[in-house]
């Protein structure tokens, strides 16, 4: 498609889908922004114009700063666990061993469990201070069981979410590992590079692209973690496990306040963009975009 | 130093024996070429020497010490791969420096060796590029540079030129030969191109199905091929091989005569045929002669001035002292 004519034709051909996609995005975003300037409670219509009042109340809410911090801690914590764990698991799965196929399927399977279900399983079967597996383990070693969800709420949620996302990271990194040229590895071996040097100088650089993809895709979803919090800690104790999506839910939907919800949504979009910007700068340096 | 001895070295992949036990000695400073048809085990043999594959039996001795169980890095050999196997995310300079960095050689010495290798290989202007930004020939030179700086006991090349175009191949062939003359380091070179084998080697090892068919200097192999396989494999164009009446006349099962050892005439000679295809290269002419009753086509090489055309009648006479005779088993008589 190097000629002018081909370019013109191509533009004409794709224009319907581009227009549709734009409308698809712009209309909801536009309505959200419009609603965010209204005092609009669904139970008590009609709506009236308030300007930035919704934003003011959202940003000055005592839970906002803790929620922002919690969101970042949750995102970064899960990213760290899943990328490091994903690399290790991928390295392991890339080796040849008996029962490889079954083990691979087992490793992938957490991804198919929906967040509400996995959170309930974690809450009741593992982290429950009386009947949970961890409680039994602690007691078996003569230790006092820990009530994870009330003493370490954010860590508990981080673990649950990381468990759900580890397969995704592993899968992407495993496919990347499989495309690593074995002759390069052999050349490095002949060049006197040990296992660790080969990992640092060959494997890791080869994986950077995939790591970037894993980080970016996961960030989008991790900024919006909700179900795990809703079914386990409900944001508590206090604000200890409230993140931005949960705060939006608390401040608006619980009170049927559509205006406040819209303002929270716009703020979440802005935060997501800021986080994405820094992530792209940090990891995306290696990505030739 | 770089003397390599293989004693009864064998290799099987599972049930399949790719290399039956073989013995081979490679002297220090020799340029040895492994040549043979595709799939005959050349790469496998090279990888056994490099230590990238474990032997199924036998012993590999490098410079007098048993290296059979030594790791690739410990054997002091450098390998140039067919795919070059450069590290794609490192600059040319870092690629060349990598083995030295792994060996813990100090920076100043690294720089000195990189500069001298880059100069020798015409890479000075490309040191800061990535492999992806280089042509095939340049990549090949980087791979060679990476091998040189280690100052190995021997170089191993696995079909290093097969990804290059014909003109570049001739150029690189000369460069590698020059490199060998300069460094005087042992080199083992794998190829299936018998022209490369003939032009570069001090010693050619002809392999077939993992067996060594013959070991010798290029001219030895050309003059005295030990069996039909070597006779047909070494030399370009191929030796003409005849069976049947023509062979019986010489008391052999098969006879062979090289295209350059057949003289041509328009009216008299030993065998009569018709020109199928004639190729005039200026310096030489090649005729593919049909209807001789000897073989489908007999290849003949004549002086460039000899003018026969398609369909012409032609008489062929072999040089009697250049006829190779082989027995029922294909061995030389
Ligand atoms: N890892 C392996 N597992 C099983 N069989 C193998 C393996 N590597 C090579 N072989 C077999 O060993 C034989 C020799 O292979 P090798 O690569 O040494 O051939 P080669 O002479 O280098 O051929 P080419 O000129 O095509 O490179 C082949 O028949 C091949 O199928
Ligand atoms: Mg090969």
Asked if A147 and A156 touch (Cβ cutoff 8 Å), the reply is: no
Q: Does any domain span residue A210?
A: yes
Q: Does any domain span residue A179?
A: yes
What average pLDDT does range B24-46 have in this prediction?
92
Q: Does any domain span residue B109?
A: yes
Q: Does any domain span residue B305?
A: yes
Q: How does DSSP classify residue B132?
A: G
Q: How many domains does chain A have?
A: 1
* Strand duo B65-66 + B57-62: pairing: antiparallel
pLDDT digits (tens), chain A, 289 positions: 567 888 888 888 888 999 999 999 899 889 888 888 888 877 777 777 888 888 888 888 888 889 999 999 999 999 999 999 999 999 988 888 888 888 888 888 888 888 888 888 888 888 877 788 888 888 888 888 777 778 888 898 999 899 989 999 999 999 999 988 888 999 999 888 888 999 999 999 899 888 888 988 898 899 889 988 998 888 778 888 888 899 888 888 778 888 888 888 898 889 888 888 887 777 666 554 4
Tell me the helices (H) and strands (E) count for chain A, helix number first. Answer: 14, 2
Q: Does any domain span residue B200?
A: yes
- The reply to whether B78 touches chain A by the CB within 8 Å rule is yes
The domain boundary, picked from B208, B230, B252, lies at: B230
**Does ligand 1 have an atom closer than 6 angstroms to the CB of B15?**
no
Task: Give the tokens for residue B330.
Answer: 């294909």
To test ligand 1's pocket by mutation, which of B11, B33, B41 has the most ligand atoms within 8 angstroms of CB? B41
Burial class of residue B255 in the structure, from the number of CB atoms within 10 Å of its CB (0-12 exposed, 13-18 middle, 19+ buried)? buried
What average pLDDT does range B68-76 have in this prediction?
89
Q: Does any domain span residue B333?
A: no
**Domain that residue B243 falls in:** 238-326
What is the pLDDT, as a whole number, of residue A285?
65
The domain boundary, picked from B173, B208, B230, lies at: B230
Q: Does any domain span residue B332?
A: no
* Predicted complex ipTM: 0.81
What is the pLDDT, as a whole number, of residue A283?
67
Q: Does any domain span residue A100?
A: yes
User: Do B95 and B115 share a domain, yes or no?
Assistant: yes
User: Do B220 and B265 share a domain, yes or no?
Assistant: no
Q: Does any domain span residue B331?
A: no
Q: How many domains does chain B have?
A: 2
**Domain that residue A162 falls in:** 64-241
Find the CB nearest B72 among A184, A189, A205. Answer: A189
- Yes or no, beta carbons of B99 and A191 under 8 Å apart: yes
Q: Does any domain span residue B12?
A: yes
**3-class DSSP state of B31:** strand
Chain A: closest CA distance from residue B324 (Å): 43
- Yes or no, beta carbons of A187 and B77 under 8 Å apart: no
User: Looking at beta carbons, which residues of chain A come within 8 Å of B52?
Assistant: 186, 189-190
Q: Does any domain span residue A83?
A: yes
Q: Give the 3-state secondary structure of A61-118.
A: CCCHHHHHHHHHHHHHHHHHHHHHHHHHHHHHHHCCCCCHHHHHHHHHHHHHCCHHHH
Chain B: closest CA distance from residue A208 (Å): 11
Please report, for the domain that includes residue A192, its CATH number: 1.10.3720.10
User: Do B111 and B251 share a domain, yes or no?
Assistant: no
The domain boundary, picked from B210, B230, B250, lies at: B230
User: Do B128 and B248 share a domain, yes or no?
Assistant: no
Q: Model's pTM, two decimal places?
A: 0.80
User: Do B159 and B285 share a domain, yes or no?
Assistant: no
User: Looking at beta carbons, which residues of chain B come within 8 Å of A201?
Assistant: 87, 90, 98
Please report, for the domain that includes residue B261, its CATH number: 2.40.50.140
CA A284–ligand 1 middle distance (angstroms)? 40
User: Do B220 and B246 share a domain, yes or no?
Assistant: no
User: Do B142 and B183 share a domain, yes or no?
Assistant: yes
Chain A: closest CA distance from residue B102 (Å): 6
Q: Does any domain span residue B172?
A: yes
pLDDT in tens, B162-182: 888 888 888 888 989 998 999
What is the pLDDT, as a whole number, of residue A289?
41
User: Do B190 and B287 share a domain, yes or no?
Assistant: no
Please report, for the domain that includes residue B55, its CATH number: 3.40.50.300
User: Looking at beta carbons, which residues of chain B come within 8 Å of A205?
Assistant: 87, 89
């Amino acid at each position: 498609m190097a000629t002018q004519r081909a370019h013109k034709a191509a533009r004409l051909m794709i224009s319907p889908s581009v227009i549709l996609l734009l409308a698809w995005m712009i209309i909801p975003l536009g309505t959200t922004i419009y609603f965010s300037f209204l005092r609009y409670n669904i139970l008590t219509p009609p709506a009236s114009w308030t300007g930035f009042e919704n934003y003011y109340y959202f940003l000055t809410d005592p839970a906002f700063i803790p929620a922002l911090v919690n969101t970042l801690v949750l995102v970064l914590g899960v990213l760290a666990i899943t990328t490091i764990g994903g690399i290790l698991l991928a390295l392991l799965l890339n080796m040849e061993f008996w029962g490889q196929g079954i083990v691979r399927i087992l490793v992938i399977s957490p991804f198919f469990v929906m967040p509400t279900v996995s959170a309930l399983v974690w809450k009741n079967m593992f982290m429950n201070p009386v009947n949970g597996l961890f409680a039994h383990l602690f007691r078996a070693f003569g230790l006092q069981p820990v009530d994870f969800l009330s003493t370490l709420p954010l860590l508990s949620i981080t673990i649950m979410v990381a468990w759900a996302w580890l397969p995704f990271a592993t899968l992407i990194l495993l496919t990347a590992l499989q495309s690593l040229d074995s002759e390069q590895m052999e050349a490095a071996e002949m060049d006197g590079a040990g296992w660790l040097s080969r990992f640092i100088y060959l494997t890791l650089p080869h994986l950077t692209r995939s790591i970037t993809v894993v980080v970016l895709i996961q960030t989008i979803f991790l900024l919006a973690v909700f179900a795990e919090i809703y079914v386990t800690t409900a944001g508590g104790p206090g604000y200890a496990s409230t993140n931005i999506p949960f705060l939006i839910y608390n401040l608006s939907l619980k009170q049927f306040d559509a205006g406040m919800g819209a303002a929270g949504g716009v703020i979440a979009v802005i935060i997501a963009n800021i986080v994405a910007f820094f992530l792209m700068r940090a990891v995306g340096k290696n990505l030739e975009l | 130093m770089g003397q390599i001895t293989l004693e009864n070295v064998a290799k099987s992949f599972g049930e399949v024996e790719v290399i039956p036990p073989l013995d081979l000695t490679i002297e220090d400073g020799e340029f040895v070429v492994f040549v043979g048809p595709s799939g005959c085990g050349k790469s496998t043999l090279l990888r056994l020497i490099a230590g990238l594959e474990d032997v199924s039996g036998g012993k590999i001795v490098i410079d007098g010490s048993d290296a059979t169980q030594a790791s690739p890095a410990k054997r002091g050999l450098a390998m140039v791969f067919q795919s070059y196997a450069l590290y794609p995310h490192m600059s040319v300079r870092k690629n060349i420096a990598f083995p030295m960095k792994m060996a813990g050689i100090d920076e100043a010495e690294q720089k000195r060796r990189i500069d001298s290798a880059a100069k020798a290989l015409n890479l000075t202007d490309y040191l800061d590029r990535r492999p992806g930004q280089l042509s095939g020939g340049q990549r090949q030179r980087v791979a060679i540079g990476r091998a040189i700086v280690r100052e190995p006991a021997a170089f191993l090349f696995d079909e290093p030129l097969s990804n290059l175009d014909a003109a570049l191949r001739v150029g690189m062939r000369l460069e590698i030969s020059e490199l060998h003359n300069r460094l005087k380091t042992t080199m083992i070179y794998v190829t299936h191109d018998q022209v490369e084998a003939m032009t570069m080697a001090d010693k050619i090892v002809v392999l077939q199905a993992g067996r060594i068919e013959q070991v010798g200097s290029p001219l030895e192999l050309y003059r005295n091929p030990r069996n039909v396989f070597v006779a047909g494999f070494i030399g370009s164009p191929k030796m003409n091989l005849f069976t049947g009446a023509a062979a019986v006349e010489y008391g052999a099962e098969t006879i062979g005569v090289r295209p350059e050892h057949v003289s041509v005439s328009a009216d008299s000679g030993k065998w009569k045929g018709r020109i199928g295809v004639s190729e005039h290269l200026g310096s030489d002419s090649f005729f593919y002669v049909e209807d001789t009753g000897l073989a489908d086509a007999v290849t003949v090489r004549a002086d460039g001035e000899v003018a026969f055309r398609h369909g012409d009648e032609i008489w062929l006479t072999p040089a009697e002292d250049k006829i190779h005779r082989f027995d029922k088993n294909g061995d030389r008589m």
